[in-house]
Chains A and B, each alone.
Chain A
Amino acid sequence: MSQYMLFHDQKNCIGCEACVVACKTRQKLPQGPLPTLVVAVGPRWTGDQPRTVFTFMPCFHCEVPWCVAACPTGAMQKRSGDGVVSVDPELCVGCKTCMAACPWGAPQWNPVTGKVVKCDLCKDRIDAGLKPTCATVCVTQCIHFGPPEEMSEIRRERYARTKAEGQFDPE
């Protein structure tokens, strides 16, 4: 079962990429692979105000991960219990099939090892009861980590609050 979700609250994201750097630091990666990425689209005018949309792209740890199905060596694995998808470097032969299979481009190429790296939800950290690195260091705390059913409440509650505030405010 996919037990966890990284929920990115775009409203509060400033696109600083602290998550990107912290992830690379933890995985001790060379220049090149970016297991998490923040993509900025914009600015564009929305009415008379400029807006930029930042999208956080880690691995989504699919319930049915195509990368796992595609991997010929069994290196790409979905962990039983919590559904974390990660790659075992001992078994990875660098065939890149997972990179081709993933609809989100999550598996990344490490040119130094000739193997794939990816977001593993910092499974050692979550096993120790900690949050993944990206959610830990996020400057605005816009990356939330937890069970998917709790994540949806963040946006739902804020929407309700904002709507309610509008009704109290005479303007």
Chain B
Amino acid sequence: MSSPSCQLDASCADASAPITCAEIDASSRPLLLLVVSAALWLVVGSILGLISSLTFHAPKMFADCAAMSFGRSHPAANNAFLYGFAVPAGLAVLLWLAGRIGRTKLIGAPLVVLGWLLWNIGVTVGVLGILQGENTGHEWLEFSRSASGFLLIGYVAVALAGVLTFRARKEGKLELSQWFILAALFWFPWIYSTSHLLLLIWPVRGVLQSVITWWYVNNLANVWMVLVGLAAAFYFVPKFAKAPLHSRPMGLFSFWSVILFGSWAGIPAGAPVPAWIPAVSTLGAFLSIAGILATWLNLSKTLCLADRHAQRSLSETFIPFGVKVFPVAALLGVLAQPAGVSGLLNFTWFLPAQQQLLVYGFYGLVLMGALHFMVSRLAPVADPKPMFAFLHFIGCAGGVVIFFLALACGGVAQGGVMNDSTVPFLNVVKGTLMWIRLSSLGELLMILGNLLFLLNVVLAVVRFLKVSMESFMAENAKPAGVRA
């Protein structure tokens, strides 16, 4: 391996440890299945997203094609991103980290393969279903009952392998990242099964459905994704800085803040529910501010110790960027909660912009960084060319920044005129078009970035398979040679 980041593994090569990093990585190869399918869904999702935003460039484009119309391609894109990419990619990172930090091989590889298969059947059925009009009507939970069932069983299978690997760790005392890993493994099945049961199997009535949907969306984005993203950040950032984390107690404070307060936010003021629900939600959001600031301080104090002039691998550009985006995205989410601001920003393009910054700018980029690192260890190949790395980073990071800035500015402007009842509603809509069209530029860049991510992952895996196959053939050719 010639990558500049390969020395980063030094910390793992503990002489007293009976197992080496290479052995752990070799046992973790089934996780590559999750990584490849995640990269593929990421591209599928971003292309569907572009199709949906074409509506704002030419509304009549898909007038005769139901599957490509905005109301179908938009949720299909979002679900392909969430369940095709975000969750399985997160699981791959969680399982690999559980093995690496716990210094143990991956346990339960067949469970991973089974879970991967079920999960991807579920996502395929779900996305195709949405395009055909099988939408449950609950945002972020649009997959049909059957598709969600596959997802839940698939998740449990993969997470079970994660828990087994976690339990096989060598040390009882936990590294900071392990706190986040364990919580994340349990968080998703609870929130997903609760909302699945109460929305699709025995549906509750009326606005209770919306309360549960808000609760789920917030828990997936502001708790689960944050737990996984920070698990990776707290593992990689000290590695990159070649120094211990600035403060472990501060990191633990971040952990408790995320799971105790982060899980309460997300229900907007003025919603047609008893008034205490949005009020408690706003309180929870405000209580999480200290944790967000502590996370930011902790990670940036550690990051500033890194050598600025050293050649950087892909993960060393992606993860620090995501880490810097986190406090911005999370604080904007908090600030949009109180009634005064919500009156202006709710229902505008600001909220999708903030959400994209959190789930793609923070979570997506940290995950891509972690996956690049992981893939380069699981299927060792040379680092990509600098031009490739540059385009990949500009695509993902530049794309999400343009997308966010365009829609956030457009959203604030939209909120202002929407609240002025003297402006006809159609003029409000027309006023947002310029911003939406600008955001499509960001989307195009993100597609480029996502495509390069897929290309890098697939090339690494294909080259690795080729090399393994050749060595396998060479080994098996010997007896034949003797016989001849």
A associates with B: no
* B residues in contact (CB < 8 Å) with A: none
* A residues in contact (CB < 8 Å) with B: none
